[in-house]
Amino acid sequence: MTDLPMYRNVIDGKLQAPASGKYLDSINPATGEVWARVPASDRTDVEAAVDAARKAFPAWSALPAAGRAHYLRQVGDIFRKHSDELTRLELMGIGCQARKSNVPTPAGGLSFLWDRAAGLTLDAVTGRSVPLDANTMGITRREPYGVVAAIVPYNSPQGMASSKASLAIAAGNTVVLKPPEQASPAILRFGELLAEILPPGVVNMVSGLGADVGDPLVRHPDVRKITMTGSPDTARMIQRAAADNLTSCIFELGGKSPNIVFADADLDRAAPGVTTQAIYTTNAGQACVGGSRILIQRPILDEMLGRMEAIAKQIRIGDPFDPETTMGPLISQPQFDKVTGYIEIGKQEAQLVFGGRYGPELVPSRPGGFWVEPTLFMTTNNALRICQEEIFGPVAAVIPFDTEEEAIAIANDSRFGLASGLWTRDLARVNRFIRDIRSGNVWVNTYLQTRYELPFGGIKDSGYGHDDIMEFTVEKTAVIAT
């Protein structure tokens, strides 16, 4: 254990060990072995980080937009210069397959987020003018909140950290970021590199368990904005904790997204769109946006099932560093237990179409990894647990339907409302579904096509708000009489 890499928090531009002296083990999900140690921080570290961010805020927010943009572009260079290292750390920490890594090699993927934020800095300070009468003018100006708390999930740590932090500081805020305890090393290393570029205190990183770090962070009276990507249950706890200070929140939460295939669809596109791209190879199904309820019109049901099974058979599960691997392991033992528990529930309440196996026999060369194969069930009952609860693994359910009305009713019969997919050639149907489906995102004849120029957020238990530069500012009104 003494030879393991030891990562530290980043507070006020310095690398700092946790005040308690305690550390957490970081587990390689492909082997089940400890490969690094990260700070088990507590309230003391949170207080220091928030204090550093609070003190850095006046100077950072006073910096002209062009000055902030200059810093942001330098941060983008981190991913161009250190892409190989950050890719390796991400793969070691979360086990996603190399070809789907959130830090692609060669560099360019996440650098774009920081370059984009640099280009948006002027938007964050642009106000409006409204003539009220001949002698009176109303004006608005946009101002940063102050200290922003950013809480990042394990399934896309560097991507989420970059998205949240870049927009927050572009708007003139300062940030205290909590990495996921399951996958902190890549973000903490990124924080080390950030500290070489940004002024002290602008971005601080404190790792640890949610109860020890997240809770005091969201309760802190100096935190004026919270952005969190995670589960609805966590969001509810944060919202209750933030209520005392009336802290503004952004929540991007879970999903149980319908992916609907009509008989007139192009099945050559639809079959991979509801199988590989949408569910299985996106972090082994650990994606809130995955279309895990697949609605198929009955005339094409058998053909679609055959096509989906053929695609699933081509998926290669294994070592994330193997270029032939197309699906890696789940993140941890608790997540493995949760997902495999749902598989056993599914075997009892629905028809198993394919898959259903899990454990070391799937990848004998890595017996300690958290391996689950792509699994598909079929049922006519959307009320089943496997249809209503977020599994967060490579497990989906097919639900046959006959009519448009039935498809809409099934699609909307969920407490979630993050995303939906529709596969059809009927333009009138497309317009009806975009209107009637209750979700924050609708993809038509594609899935998981996202662009940062477009908002990404949910409704119902999938949250509210989205990480946009305007969300990190407040609008002030002034009226001037002459």
- Active site residue ranges: 252, 288
- Number of alpha carbons in the 13 Å side-chain half-sphere of residue 133: 3
Give the β-pairing of 395-401 and 375-378. Answer: parallel
Q: Long-range contacts of range 307-313, CB-CB < 8 Å, 24 or more positions apart?
A: 307/267, 307/271, 307/275, 308/271, 308/274, 308/275, 308/353, 308/354, 308/376, 309/353, 309/354, 309/376, 311/271, 311/272, 311/275, 311/276, 312/275, 312/276, 312/280, 312/354, 312/355, 312/374, 312/376
d(CA 259, CA 446): 10
Tokens coding 153: 């999930």
d(CA 468, CA 453): 9
423 close to 304: Cβ distance less than 8 angstroms: no
d(CA 51, CA 213): 15
Element (H, E) at 33: strand 33-39
198 close to 10: Cβ distance less than 8 angstroms: no
| Phi, psi dihedral angles at 70 (to 5 degrees) | -60, -45
**Cα dist from 300 to 44, 124, 303, 305, whole Å:** 59, 49, 5, 9
